[in-house]
């Protein structure tokens, strides 16, 4: 099995981090992986904000129920949809999802832990204020990143028979 497929299966959301620093090189690699996601017309409708300052992390932690995860993270990446580069809202948001997944897979391969935080969107106005977001951008997610606390992490998925059909929706896998 190739690396990508192995990483897709082994990646788990990580919500507890050690105090160890994430290097600037690793952050750059993660961001490059995000930027190499596919996008419609190659419009790359994303913008990213890297947050490392403890005071900002503390403020952002108050914008979500996942306070502990945010507080424990060494780096946060706020992922934004830039309406100015948009051509189709649905496709642009799909592309941003692909960029986020690329970054999560990169974290796993670098030995880092990460989790995609969506619940924080409930407080997007506060996040935008903290990050001085201009009018033309829309918050899509925050990714919390750090070195993972060692522990067994499991997850599950629906079986293919539940989600896949053969030829049309009348025939199950």
Ligand X SMILES: Cc1cc2nc3c(=O)[nH]c(=O)nc-3n(C[C@H](O)[C@H](O)[C@H](O)COP(=O)(O)O)c2cc1C
State the residues that interact with ligand X by CB under 6 A: 12-13, 15, 66, 115-119, 155
Nearer to ligand X, 63 or 117 (CB): 117
Nearer to ligand X, 46 or 66 (CB): 66
- Closest distance to ligand X from the beta carbon of 157 (Å): 8
Nearer to ligand X, 4 or 28 (CB): 4
- Closest distance to ligand X from the beta carbon of 69 (Å): 6
For ligand X, the nearest residue by Cβ is: 118
Q: What is the 3-state secondary structure (H, E, C) of the chain?
A: CCHHHHHHHHCCCCCCECCCCCCHHHHHHHHHHHHCCCCHHHCCCEEEEEECCHHHHHHHHCCCCCHHHHHHCCEEEEEEEEHHHCCCHHHHHHHHHHHHHHHHHHHHHCCCEEEEECHHHHHHHHHHHHCCCCCCEEEEEEEEEECECCCCCCCCCCCHHHHCECCCCCCEC
- Closest distance to ligand X from the beta carbon of 13 (Å): 4
Nearer to ligand X, 114 or 131 (CB): 114
- Closest distance to ligand X from the beta carbon of 170 (Å): 30
């Amino acid at each position: 099995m190739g690396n990508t497929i192995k990483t897709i299966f082994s990646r788990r959301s990580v919500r507890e981090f050690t105090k160890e620093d994430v290097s600037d090189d690793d952050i750059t690699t993660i961001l490059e992986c995000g930027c190499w996601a596919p996008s419609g017309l190659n419009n790359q409708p994303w913008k990213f904000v890297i947050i490392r300052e403890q005071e900002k992390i503390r403020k952002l932690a108050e914008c979500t129920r996942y306070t502990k995860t945010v507080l424990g993270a060494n780096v946060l990446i706020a992922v934004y949809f830039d309406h100015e580069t948009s051509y189709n809202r649905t496709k642009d948001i799909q592309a941003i999802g692909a960029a986020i997944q690329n970054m999560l897979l990169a974290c796993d391969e670098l030995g880092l832990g990460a989790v995609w935080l969506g619940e924080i969107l409930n407080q997007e106005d506060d996040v935008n204020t903290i990050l001085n977001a201009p009018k033309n951008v829309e918050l899509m997610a925050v990714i919390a990143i750090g070195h993972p606390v060692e522990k067994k992490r499991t997850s599950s998925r629906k079986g293919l028979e539940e989600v896949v059909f053969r030829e049309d929706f009348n025939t199950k896998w």
